[in-house]
Structure 1
């Protein structure tokens, strides 16, 4: 009962804090709906342009305002394994729309970049900002005002948050998110990690490393570890934006196609032209956001969502804070262990009972708000299911299994792996930071060691190769925040620090950059805010200062007298190398406008 009351209290305080901004938002989407936000307001010239390339039958349907038209926003490209399956979706969706006397058009495409390709490369400095570009590109696609509802085809790291921000900006439109599913299991993630560490130590060559990586990332679908992409899919389902059971069905299967057709029909059933009008801006409220955060904690999900969820909530007029996220973590037990929080991948999680089992357990424990609206109707209980293929090719649903198929991967509430979700806010004289502890052993959660101060992950890599880091230390990697260089993920540090930890050293990371869903066994205080470029105390740490990171008690400090720390100046460093090349010069405005990490790091100023 204590955890249930805590979650209700946190929801109440979010609601109270958001009252004014939420009322303004709801009035705006009501105004948009009242202006007949569909083809009826378009001139004949407008409309003729809008359906010029359609078939004769679709032109006839679109000539009036009684046939619902579905806008498709797609993140398809065939370089990203997770998005390649979307190539065939528009045709499936159009066929499904016609079966229910509707139409569908591709309203627009949005960029979709892969952090796995850009890790450690200059392009990674565009990654976080791509979220806001995706939201803007979606707005352009929907601005034609041809649509009565929308479906969103996106999976990976910044794509789903960007689509969500846009969907809520067009909150008068109903919408359904349609996933593509994870690739089938390849080389186990722990084996891949071992090869990476051996390569970092020079014990295997590039050929062996590439072979291991290729066996791990080997086909269409999302990467199978539980990073931001798969955390996105969990969020869309537990927040009621997927059809039930849609998240983790593999691409290219009859069930995947059946779910896609069903989602298109469902979106068309929710328009203002019917009797079940469900605008997404009203559907997603404070309870939905809290359910998403609880799901994130119960599954040990991506730290990126401590940024994205704040920006998503702000797009709906909801004021979510890091403290809300941290307090919800304290009230939510960890029920899943999927790499990097365990050895299993997301396919093993799905086979063990998956989201249906997890949602049922959290609902029975009173840790989710059941009384929410979803794209499936009222209440979250319809999501406590397992989706299957019916004999006629449609989707059938059975109740979630009564017991886990593998308690090394997924456990009932009564057998939780740990009492809290493992995401915490750290506070102290360095400001605020986030740490993910679900994969960090308890004896590693308190680190007190001298600082090694660096201004890039390449500098730490060079120091490691030079043999300068075989000792206890805290790596302080600064000038990695949104305004400095776009806040790239710093995955090149993961393997190096893991090697040093395995050698018996007590090491940790403190940075104003990101580490994402792959944050693993090394304690990492990330998203430190204020960032160094804004004069944040992280920029005042000197080599040899003792830094104390205490994840259990939620503190992050440099053990320097307050007066001395205040008197220190953040050094001026040359960041011009981050300002051009690989398109970075086009994002100068984004860097200047970017908000703080604890405010969603958005260029829109919503939070």
Structure 2
């Protein structure tokens, strides 16, 4: 194992010792109780199993068979979650073969940033993660389950399910993915149409046709955004059936993998192989997830989400840990927006399994950790396939299936990971550097300050941004308005960059990988609404964003900067962010939320 990675892990273990020990003590106290059907009062048990078929009641109460609880994000609105409609029946059928029972314990909400981008609903997006975590806890709170199966794929859904499951850390748990949609209009062509629309060169009809050709069926969107990064991280944590992440929903192997998930989670309930999720997700597994994110140039959202996931298991990490890991973790994948390939092409070239195999062999990942299988993380460096009607896992070839998409540790795309930490007198921020051209890694230009993304879009439409500048988009953090994704800013900024202007964005909001080739210092903390220095920036101030050395500074005389007052969001704008479309219900979360670097957690 690389010494740098060992040092980061040891630091995490040391700083987490009090909280992790307390977490594990609580876990053990709960795990040592009698099972639910034997422990609860008779009225409680009767209520819990009232709707079960008689044979299932007999199994779970008299025969003491394992009872699996399903927590599902199924809905018909999200293409990634629509395939889950029949999963409970498949899971129940397979469980019956082993004498076990199944109940859908509950559903969790699942919203899509692609639908809400630029709309008021986006201001509830980040907080939906903690709502999902709480919903998972409510689903499992009936306390009659011996294991849980978690059905979710997309941006906030997986982190929310995982946080909720870790609060029931005494249960063996497994995640069951549904897979990506088939390849449609390629992402590069889609982006070009968006840029043309931003310039008024095409109309809404052509834009809608382009978007509909890209997003056209069941499954996750095919770019390597937060949803598909989720799947990579779950593979790296050993929480899937190995290789399950990117099998198409309609592929016959998808059902086989789901049935295998039932077998694995039941095996984890046996005394000789008991593996509760709270023990499985330890400091080494969290580091494995961080490394997988960095090695694939995954979504910057996970610098927020996985901090929160770790906290749910009593493990304390921050962006400095990502920074130190990134310095020595090679970039092994080039998937849009970091490259031209989509996740289906990534899968065809080797996918998560190839990357994990390479990272293990290169000494960047801990292989001997708990996973849902008995073989540790080595099992996740293999490829599932079918032979004679049965699932088998085979080793990958030594070489990549496509060097333009996936590479070995000996020939990486970069010697360092795709994410960088930025520090300076504006605070701490992160940047997804893997997609940004090398000649844009350093930008120095005057600031133009916007207090809402709509202000930038209006300025673009008026033709006021035809120059070098750094857009400061502030009051977009968790406390201000829930930290929405600022997806809609990418097309106009891309248009300006393509015209030769030096442009960048500095914001306390989120952009995930949506910034693409635009230098974007995001998640700036402390945020403007918490009195952060971003609220002191004025239009015309010179800002230097240097991703090469990891700095973001406003070039203002120190004495002047110290005396400059922090601007506050106007009452009118604050009111507009707090009311309508259900945003009133999230007021308590906005008041209590921790910073982005602390995971934007609302439950501590």
**TM-score using structure 1 length:** 0.98
Structure 1 residue corresponding to 2:102, chosen from 101, 104, 118: 104
| 1:547 corresponds to | 543
CA RMSD between the two structures: 1.0
SS in structure 2 of the partner of residue 374 of structure 1? coil
What does residue range 379-390 of structure 1 map to in structure 2 within 5 Å?
379-390=376-387
1:284 and 2:281 are equivalent in the alignment: yes
| 2:453 corresponds to | 457
| 1:259 corresponds to | 257
How far does residue 64 in structure 1 lie from its aligned partner after superposition?
2.9
Structure 1 residue corresponding to 2:438, chosen from 411, 427, 442: 442
Structure 2 residue corresponding to 1:129, chosen from 127, 130, 133: 127
| 1:511 corresponds to | 507
**Residue segments in structure 1 that go unaligned for 5+ positions in a row:** none
C-alpha distance in 2 between matches for 1:39 and 1:33: 14
Structure 1 residue corresponding to 2:471, chosen from 453, 471, 475: 475
**TM-score using structure 2 length:** 0.98
Q: Is the 8 A contact 2:448 2:540 kept in 1?
A: yes
C-alpha deviations, 1:262-292, integer Å up to 9, x for none?
Answer: 1012111111x54211011011111000000
Q: Is the 8 A contact 2:73 2:110 kept in 1?
A: yes
Structure 2 residue corresponding to 1:535, chosen from 523, 531, 534: 531
What does residue range 53-92 of structure 1 map to in structure 2 within 5 Å?
53-64=51-62, 66-92=64-90
SS in structure 2 of the partner of residue 373 of structure 1? coil
Q: Is the 8 A contact 1:451 1:542 kept in 2?
A: yes
C-alpha distance in 2 between matches for 1:185 and 1:539: 43
Q: Is the 8 A contact 1:179 1:247 kept in 2?
A: yes
Q: Is the 8 A contact 2:432 2:513 kept in 1?
A: no
| 2:239 corresponds to | 241
Structure 1 residue corresponding to 2:171, chosen from 173, 182, 194: 173
Q: Is the 8 A contact 2:298 2:418 kept in 1?
A: no
Q: Is the 8 A contact 2:181 2:217 kept in 1?
A: yes
| 1:202 corresponds to | 200
Q: Is the 8 A contact 1:72 1:104 kept in 2?
A: yes
What does residue range 309-388 of structure 1 map to in structure 2 within 5 Å?
309-388=306-385
C-alpha distance in 1 between matches for 2:134 and 2:354: 36
| 1:300 corresponds to | 297
C-alpha distance in 2 between matches for 1:212 and 1:121: 20
C-alpha deviations, 1:200-235, integer Å up to 9, x for none?
Answer: 000000000000000000000000000000000001
| 1:13 corresponds to | 11
Q: Which runs of 4+ in 1 moved over 3 A?
A: none
How far does residue 518 in structure 1 lie from its aligned partner after superposition?
2.5
| 1:602 corresponds to | 601
1:183 and 2:181 are equivalent in the alignment: yes
1:391 and 2:385 are equivalent in the alignment: no
1:500 and 2:487 are equivalent in the alignment: no
| 1:425 corresponds to | 421
C-alpha distance in 2 between matches for 1:275 and 1:71: 21
Q: Which moved more, 1:59-68 or 1:532-541?
A: 59-68
C-alpha deviations, 1:180-212, integer Å up to 9, x for none?
Answer: 000010000000000000000000000000000
| 2:23 corresponds to | 25
C-alpha distance in 1 between matches for 2:401 and 2:245: 18
Distance 1:342 1:103, change over 3 A: same
Structure 1 residue corresponding to 2:562, chosen from 551, 560, 566: 566
C-alpha distance in 1 between matches for 2:172 and 2:328: 32
How far does residue 37 in structure 1 lie from its aligned partner after superposition?
4.6
C-alpha distance in 2 between matches for 1:274 and 1:96: 21
C-alpha distance in 1 between matches for 2:386 and 2:50: 37
Structure 1 residue corresponding to 2:401, chosen from 392, 396, 405: 405
C-alpha distance in 2 between matches for 1:554 and 1:571: 26
C-alpha deviations, 1:129-150, integer Å up to 9, x for none?
Answer: 0000000001001000110000
How far does residue 402 in structure 1 lie from its aligned partner after superposition?
2.2
How far does residue 566 in structure 1 lie from its aligned partner after superposition?
2.0
C-alpha distance in 2 between matches for 1:65 and 1:249: 36
C-alpha distance in 1 between matches for 2:290 and 2:416: 12
Q: Which moved more, 1:420-429 or 1:83-92?
A: 420-429
Q: Is the 8 A contact 1:132 1:162 kept in 2?
A: yes
Q: Is the 8 A contact 1:40 1:64 kept in 2?
A: no
SS in structure 1 of the partner of residue 383 of structure 2? strand
Structure 2 residue corresponding to 1:41, chosen from 32, 39, 42: 39
Q: Is the 8 A contact 1:39 1:65 kept in 2?
A: no
SS in structure 2 of the partner of residue 414 of structure 1? coil
C-alpha distance in 1 between matches for 2:245 and 2:317: 25
C-alpha deviations, 1:547-572, integer Å up to 9, x for none?
Answer: 01000101010011222122222223
Q: Is the 8 A contact 1:226 1:518 kept in 2?
A: no
Q: Is the 8 A contact 1:239 1:288 kept in 2?
A: yes
How far does residue 464 in structure 1 lie from its aligned partner after superposition?
0.2
C-alpha distance in 1 between matches for 2:469 and 2:63: 66
How far does residue 378 in structure 1 lie from its aligned partner after superposition?
4.3
C-alpha distance in 2 between matches for 1:324 and 1:378: 28
